[in-house]
């Protein structure tokens, strides 16, 4: 069953001008009194915004306890010597999604600067438009690939069952989620937060979500 799509991939509302009337009043007052206009130098808070990115793509790998025990026994190894992790599917589409995930993370890292301890980043305001447009394109690619994987998943599981991917006796149908459960693990979310002028406190201004 196809996931219900969020109609607003990236929703951004500009509230950065909320404090502007006060500044204009101060400037007008200074001018009327034949004083020099008050100019506010750009600050970190006024020239950038906080942005946080979250992406989740299942690895399609699972620890096999039976295989791990067999390897340990065959090699007379201790129980904590290692584990055996099996690859559940050999899917080209899943590989492409993982590659896209890496590309999105790299772009986000390149255009932003670290801020705080919660994974948020600072995005300079001059980069906002290009950043939003690029992310919208990435979101669309993510959705298309996700749908392609959803359609191919039953066939991929059947291939694994027929030992086409080399699992042999390690195939276990219980390792595989149903389509709905698995697709719920593919998520991408982008949140923007305006900075309060002169403060490090964020103000939520919209978000986009895909899951």
Name the residue with higher pLDDT: 207 or 88: 88
Question: Does residue 100 belong to any structural domain of this protein?
Answer: yes
Q: Are 60 and 91 in contact (CB under 8 A)?
A: yes
Decide if 96 is inside a domain. yes
Residue 64: its pLDDT value, please?
A: 74
**193: Cβ contacts below 8 Å, ≥ 6 apart:** 49, 50, 51, 52, 120, 202, 203, 204, 205
pLDDT of 110-133, one tens digit each? 999 988 777 788 999 999 999 999
pLDDT over 70 (residue 20): no
Confidence check: pLDDT of 204 > 60: no
Average pLDDT, the chain: 76
Residue 37 contacts residue 168 (beta carbons within 8 Å): no
56 pLDDT above the threshold of 90? yes
In a domain, 171, yes or no: yes
Instruction: Return the structure tokens found at 86.
Output: 């099996």
The verdict on residue 148 lying in a domain is yes
Residue 21 domain flag: no
**For residue 93, is it within any domain?**
yes
User: 104: part of which helix (H) or strand (E)?
Assistant: helix 92-111
What range does the domain containing 114 cover? 50-58+89-210
Backbone Cα Rg of the chain:
25
- On whether residue 149 sits in a domain, the answer given is yes
The neighbour count for residue 138, using CB atoms within 10 Å, is: 22
Q: Which pLDDT belongs to residue 36?
A: 58
5 domain residue, yes or no:
no
Is pLDDT of 109 > 50? Answer: yes
Q: Considering its fold, how many domains does the chain have in total?
A: 1
């Amino acid at each position: 069953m196809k996931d219900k799509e969020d109609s607003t991939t990236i929703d951004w509302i500009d509230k950065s001008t909320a404090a502007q009337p006060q500044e204009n009043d101060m400037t007008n007052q200074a001018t009327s009194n034949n004083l020099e206009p008050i100019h506010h130098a750009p600050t970190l808070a006024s020239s950038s915004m906080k942005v946080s990115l979250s992406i989740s793509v299942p690895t399609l790998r699972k620890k096999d306890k039976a295989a791990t025990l067999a390897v340990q026994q065959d090699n007379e190894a201790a129980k904590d010597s290692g584990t055996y992790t099996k690859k559940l599917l050999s899917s080209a589409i899943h590989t492409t999604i993982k590659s896209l995930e890496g590309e999105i993370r790299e772009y986000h890292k390149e255009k932003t600067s670290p801020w705080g301890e919660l994974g948020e980043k600072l995005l300079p305001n001059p980069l906002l438009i290009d950043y939003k447009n690029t992310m919208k394109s990435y979101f669309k690619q993510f959705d298309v690939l996700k749908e392609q994987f959803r359609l191919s998943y039953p066939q991929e599981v059947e291939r694994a069952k027929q030992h086409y991917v080399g699992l042999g006796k390690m195939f276990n149908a219980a390792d595989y989620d149903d389509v709905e459960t698995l697709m719920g693990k593919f998520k991408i979310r982008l949140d923007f937060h305006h900075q309060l002028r002169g403060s490090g406190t964020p103000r939520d201004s919209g978000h986009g979500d895909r899951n």
